[in-house]
Amino acid sequence: MLGAMDCDPAVLRQRALDKDPDLIEDLFACFQQDLLRFMRQRCGNVVDAQDAVQDAFEAGVRYLEGYRGDASLKNWLYRLAASACSRMRRGQKNDPGLHEPLLESGASMAEALGQQAEAMLAARMLPLREVLSALTPTDRAVLLLRDGEGLSTTEAAQELGISEAALKSRLQRTRAMLRAKLGE
């Protein structure tokens, strides 16, 4: 298991610039869980999120040699994963297989119970999902990167390609709107 020092952004950046062949394994250990949490929201389901994260690390292997150090490695991986998720969503929006009930496709009783638990959780999360879906994609990304993933203002602004002032303004406005709509 890696220590906290191994996930230090400055150390990882230097290793990338030095073309360390073992870096991708350490990046996986450092950032896989963070990427997966973020991609679950972005992709809409766990399986697509896992695929997007895997695609991001595969792309990382291919493109690590071209990494110039302009953004943090975590931001770079987020961009790769977000691109993978977008590609998947474009390719699947009309897939009829996404709308088949699991029990009709031979799912076990344990899977059916798991589905029921997920359905109950989804019903409780519906107001939040509705509010989040009403946000613009940029406002939703601002909220998820800052509050969901804990990125700094600088990192989140870099990730989204907007100024820090714009990010702060969007975040403040989005938080206020969420509080108002959710009645907090």
Instruction: Read off the CATH number of the domain in which 28 is found.
Output: 1.10.1740.10
Is residue 183 domain-shared with residue 127, that is, in the same domain? Answer: yes
Give the position of tokens 């230090």: 8
Look at residue 59 in the predicted model and tell me its pLDDT.
Answer: 83
Domain hosting residue 121, numbered range: 111-184
Token digits of residue 50: 């896992």
Domain-located, residue 155: yes
Higher pLDDT, 50 or 121: 50
Pair 144, 75 in one domain? no
Domain check: are 87 and 115 in the same one?
A: no
In a domain, 100, yes or no: no
**More confident position, 149 or 4:** 149
Among candidate residues 42, 60, 91, the one where a domain is terminated: 91
In this prediction, residues 16-31 reach a mean pLDDT of 84
Helix 9-17, helix 73-92: angle, nearest 10: 80
Q: Is residue 103 part of a domain?
A: no
Counting residues of the chain whose pLDDT is more than 90, the rounded percentage is 13
In this structure, is residue 66 part of a structural domain? yes
Count of the separate structural domains present in the chain: 2
Based on the fold, state whether residues 123 and 81 are members of the same structural domain: no
* Most confidently modeled range among 55-64, 77-86, 112-121, 160-169: 160-169
pLDDT of residue 107: 52
pLDDT of residue 20: 83
Q: Which of 40, 58, 91 is the last residue of a domain?
A: 91
Is the same domain home to 45 and 5? yes
Once rounded to an integer, what is the mean pLDDT over residues 159-174? 93
Residue 55 sits in the same domain as residue 115: no
Residues 62-87: tens digit of each pLDDT:
887 777 777 788 888 888 888 888 88
> What is the Cα 14 distance to its own chain's centre?
24
Tokens of 173: 């406005």
Helix axes of 73-92 and 46-63: crossing angle, nearest 10 degrees? 130
3-class DSSP state of 165: helix
